[in-house]
Homo-oligomer: A and B are copies of this chain.
Amino acid sequence: MTIPGKDPRLLPYGSTNLGMPLDLIQSLVVPNELFFVRSNGPTPEIDPANWHLQIDGNVERPVSLSLDDLKALPKQTITSFLECAGNSRSRLDPPAEGTEWKNDAAGTAVWGGTMLRNVLANAGVRDTTIDLVSQGADMPGMQRGLPLQVALDPNTMLVWEMNGAPLPVPHGGPVRLLVPRWAGIASTKWLIGLIASEQPFAGFWNFENYTLITEAGEHVLPVREMPVKSIISRPTTGETLDAGTHPVTGYAWSGHGAIAKVEVSVDGGGSWDQAEIVEEAGPLGWVRFAYQWSATPGMAKLRSRATDARGLVQPEKALWNAKGYLNNSIYEVSLTVR
């Protein structure tokens, strides 16, 4: 089964998911046809003309908004990365439970819409709200709780545009939530409802999934912001290159702050040099980095290591958890120079 509008070079994981190997792109912004797709349920068909967003619960006045109502609100555009919490799960040792994403469930796009807090103000969401529970149209149980303080962040949006085009259906069109910095699951697709709740929401997608679970099965922490990470996109593992100068390029991002620096090692982590940030688009997006490598014959191990504006850095080995979320360990590319 193919997903309409998507590039055939994307890697399928089941029928509703597509990974984007990072060597397919060289731009900062990922075009819509290449952007990775992660859908936990079936893809609903929604006629934009009939779409409504219902806001109720702990509010002064429940409201129902059409797409035209939404578009009448102040528009904002931000460049933000989205990464699936399970990205790079396949690199965990020992293996963890879940879709075996390589490093292909992350991307950056330009998102257009309105601040979520604009519609929350319309409804008069009360201060006593703990979580705002979002409802997707894909499944009755597709609900997520977002803490009110995050819902009120000026970067948290209702989005109807992706890279200038109407938000494509595989990405949640006509309207999705966008919670920059947080794992993709927070950005509910095909959004149709928001319920202000005075209780923390502990539903399936907030508790059974998207929590850090110990080997003994204890759910100990929620998954929220994605940690600092970088991936070398080119060259790729298994390649053979001629000796000489080659660019080592890749992407770096963090849910805890802008990228402060990216270092590259061409000797498997023995020594590190700073790479150049060749393209950036604000603190919520990823950056593109490049490093000029003088390759000499033999086996080579290339690594990249990003540090964010809070000083947080990628570890050699990320925290293991039973569902394999938040793997930001340093990625190594192994290749041959002749």
Residues of A within 8 A of B (CB): 127, 130, 149-150, 152-154, 199-202, 206-207, 211, 214, 216, 218-222, 227, 256-258, 283, 308-319, 328
A311 and B219 form a contact (CB under 8 A): yes
**Chain B residues near A312 (CB, 8 Å)?**
211, 219-222
Given A130-B257, A207-B311, CB of A221 within 8 Å of CB of B216 = no
**Chain B residues near A154 (CB, 8 Å)?**
127
Task: Point out which of A152, A216, A218 has the most chain B C-beta atoms below 10 A from its C-beta.
Answer: A218
A227 and B220 form a contact (CB under 8 A): yes
B315 and A200 form a contact (CB under 8 A): no
Bound-state CA distance A313–B214 (Å) is 11
**Chain B residues near A199 (CB, 8 Å)?**
309
A219 and B313 form a contact (CB under 8 A): yes
**Chain B residues near A220 (CB, 8 Å)?**
227, 312-315, 318-319, 328
A310 and B222 form a contact (CB under 8 A): yes
In-complex Cβ contact of A202 among B153, B202, B227, B310 (8 A)? B310
Nearest B residue (CB) for A203: B311
A310 and B149 form a contact (CB under 8 A): no
Nearest B residue (CB) for A305: B218
